[in-house]
Amino acid sequence: MADHLFQIRQIKSLYLYHAFPSWFQFVTSTFCHANWNHLSSNLFFVYIFGKLVEEEEGNFALWMSYILTGAGANLISWLALPTSSVSLGASGAVFGLFTISVLVKMSWDWRKILEVLILGQFVVDKVLEAARATTITGQSFQVNNVAHVSGALIGAALVFLVSRIPFSSNDDNPKATKRVNRK
């Protein structure tokens, strides 16, 4: 809104310019969007998958997941795309949150597997359809599929790494604490 509606030029300094990026643009560009459709679709998916991640892992894990998958997807996009590119949007973080929400809820229950398959197909179709302007190259809008794939891979890597952290007792394990609190 600040960029498009109020024409505040300083907002564009938050975009990730691939030619000469500033360190903060890898994070701030995940909060900037090209247009209303881009913003509303990303907000919808961040709400859906962010809520799932927050329910399973907590508020801090949600924020860290969003920042790490979004900034990581931007870093990989910066390395892979031409220097004329400009990246903005939360699509890398959305795919990261989707992957995390699926992996932390995975079990061998057939209903969960069916839910993941149906939800996964829906998400991939809708996010790819809705994320029209994740990367801007020159004046043409293009979808940054590098950010989508890398966000998902970083999300999977985060789940793998966090699952390898040893907890000394159930008192230190957030999942064990959450289960105790539900009884």
Catalytic residue ranges: 91, 148
Tell me the residue type at 130.
Answer: A
Q: What is the Rg, in whole angstroms, of the alpha carbon atoms belonging to the chain?
A: 17
Other Cβ atoms closer than 10 A to 168: 7
Q: Which residues pair with 85 in a beta bridge?
A: 137
DSSP letter string over 42-105? HHHHHHHHHHHHHHHH-HHHHHHHHHHHHHHHHHHHHHHS-TTEEE-SSHHHHHHHHHHHHHHH
